[in-house]
Amino acid sequence: MSEKLPCKTCGALILPTTALRTDGLCMPCKQGNRESLEKSKERARQQRAYDPQRAHWHHLVDRAHASEQAFASFTQEEKLYYAVSVLEGEVYNGGMHQFFSNSSGALYSEAVEGLKELGATQALALLQRAAQVLFGSQQPPVDRHERWQAMPLYPEDEMATLPDWSIELEEIDSAYWMDPDGLSEKLEAYLKNTGLLQPFEKPAS
């Protein structure tokens, strides 16, 4: 078997027949996607590495789903962090309508308080505006079925003209997705400043 040769660019070992066809480059370098491959490997490595913030989040989620009363046992700091994090996930996945129509809508009041605590004034204004679009002057009900009954419905006919409320909601979603408050950074700082993250941080080796 022929001895492999190093790629001219990255040093990866390749067959001499490949080197002849590619002017001494491995196929990823020849095709120009070596950098993206290396970035993917680095992302995978980081995901495998221990992340105290991710460990804390999994711990919160497991506790929240343990029973219907579990959320009530959270500390105030945990409630606010959890509510805002759930809001983030729902809105980025399917918009404000999804947040209010799913079980997450029960956390509206805690999300409002959490955004106030974080100083996320623009996200707060968008959330409250969405609540007004969907529920008018009424406070969004905690009960999911009551929220469904109070919320306007999308037309069943996909070809129908979208109602004004849904167009306004899309504008709110788009503004939220611009992340005007840098909410992820605020949440990370809140975790550290309140000491919520400390039990999950491993001592430096």
Average pLDDT on 90-106 reads 93
The answer on pLDDT for 1 being more than 50 is no
Q: What is the pLDDT of residue 44?
A: 57
State the average pLDDT over residues 112-140: 97
Report the phi/psi class of residue 157: left, alpha or beta, with left for phi > 0 and alpha for psi in -120 to 50: beta
Give the mean pLDDT of 80-99.
94
Q: Which residue has better confidence, 21 or 114?
A: 114
* Residue 50 pLDDT level (bands cut at 50, 70, 90): confident
Per-residue pLDDT band for 33 (boundaries 50, 70, 90) equals: low
57 near 85, Cβ under 8 Å? yes
Q: What's the pLDDT band for 19 if we cut at 50, 70, 90?
A: confident
Distance from C-alpha of 97 to C-alpha of 142, rounded to nearest angstrom: 15
CA dihedral 77, 80, 86, 88 (to 10 degrees): -110
In the prediction, which pLDDT does 29 show?
73
Calculate mean pLDDT across residues 54-61: 92
pLDDT at res. 204: 52
Residues in the chain: 205
pLDDT at 162 > cutoff 70: yes
Of residues 26 and 204, more confidence is placed in: 26
Percent of the chain, pLDDT > 90? 62
Greater pLDDT, 68 or 21:
68
The model's pTM is 0.74
183-186, Cβ contacts within 8 angstroms, sequence gap of 24 or more: 183/84, 183/88, 183/118, 183/120, 183/123, 184/88, 186/118, 186/119, 186/120
- Domain segments of the chain as ranges: 5-42, 52-194
3-class DSSP state of 164? helix
